Amino acid sequence: MPGWEAKVSDLAARSADAGCELLICPPHPLVAMLCQAASGTTIQIGGQDCCEFPAGAHTGETDPDLLSALGASYVILGHSERRTAGETDQRVQDKAVRAQFSALRPIICVGESLGQRESGEAVPIVTRQLENSLPNAGDYDIAYEPIWAIGTGRTATAQDIAAMHAAIRKAVGDGPRILYGGSVKPANAREILHLPDVGGALVGGASLEMDSFAQIAAASH
């Protein structure tokens, strides 16, 4: 796709001015192209998922060794859409271990549904996901996705976000970064990114528009 090099270069310059780290996780067919376009910039590239299997015949799966060989450095695992499709905590953990073995840093997603939040189970649900999804060692990041606030018209308040991030920090200790991933946009990014224990954002739809993505990056400063 023509023009990607210029777009990525422009985005890299704008994020550098903001003093933040920027990661793009495109669909798998675009990983190689984006890795090439980001070469020489501060932008890193990751995958949206990977498999947990060793090398072999696993048709339709994405080998983390391949992502790493293409130049990716991160991979998103256990995204809410993957979990909704039936992905279990155990499979997320197995993928995380395999990703680490392939020199990829996992971003492990956790979050609760509307029913779980309304019944007062949000913190226990997320804590259990952490216990069962995280690898036992190695580097990884965590992304909190309040499923009930994504595409539903409901909004997580600053208090909601801060409380859950505090609970996650208590559960995992000081090591991992904790990202927030619930409809982050230019209009709310500054407030969210400056809350306690929020170490970044997992941006969804707003990342599809270069200018809005750059505005979110600038809001981290």
CATH at residue 209: 3.20.20.70
Residue 3 has pLDDT above 90, yes or no: no
Residue 49 has pLDDT above 80, yes or no: yes
Instruction: Reduce the DSSP state of residue 169 to 3 states and report it.
Output: helix
Please report the pLDDT score of residue 42 as a whole number. 87
Residue 102 has pLDDT above 90, yes or no: yes
With b for 16 or more beta-carbon neighbours within 10 A and e for fewer, the 133-167 pattern comes to bbbeeeebbbbbbbbbbbeeeeebeeebbbbbbeb
Mean pLDDT comparison of 108-112, 152-156, 207-211, highest-scoring range: 108-112
Instruction: Give the integer Cα–Cα distance in Å for 83 and 98.
Output: 18
pTM value? 0.94
Q: What is the pLDDT of residues 150-205, one digit of tens each?
A: 877 677 899 999 999 999 999 999 989 999 998 899 999 999 999 999 999 999 88
Q: What is the pLDDT of residues 57-91, one digit of tens each?
A: 889 999 999 999 999 999 999 999 999 999 999 99
Please report the pLDDT score of residue 2 as a whole number. 52
Which residue out of 87, 112, 145, 165 is catalytically annotated? 145
- Residue 9: pLDDT band (50, 70, 90) is confident
Residue 101 has pLDDT above 60, yes or no: yes
194 is annotated as an active-site residue: no
The mean per-residue pLDDT over the stretch 145-152 comes to 85
Tell me what percent of the residues of the chain surpass a pLDDT of 90.
Answer: 73
The mean per-residue pLDDT over the stretch 22-44 comes to 92
Question: Whole domain around residue 42: which residue ranges?
Answer: 4-14+21-219
| Residue 135: C-alpha distances to residues 17, 93, 107, 138, 181 (Å) | 34, 6, 11, 7, 21
Is 54 or 136 the better-scoring residue by pLDDT? 136
Lowest-pLDDT range of 19-23, 31-35, 119-123: 19-23
Residue 207 has pLDDT above 70, yes or no: yes
Tell me what percent of the residues of the chain surpass a pLDDT of 70.
Answer: 98
Please report the pLDDT score of residue 19 as a whole number. 74
Is 207 or 167 the better-scoring residue by pLDDT? 167
The mean per-residue pLDDT over the stretch 38-62 comes to 91
- Residue 129: pLDDT band (50, 70, 90) is very high
How many domains, in total, are found in the chain?
Answer: 1
Question: In sequence order, what E strands does the chain have?
Answer: 23-24, 44-47, 74-77, 105-110, 141-144, 178-180
Which residue out of 52, 79, 112, 165 is catalytically annotated? 79
79 is annotated as an active-site residue: yes
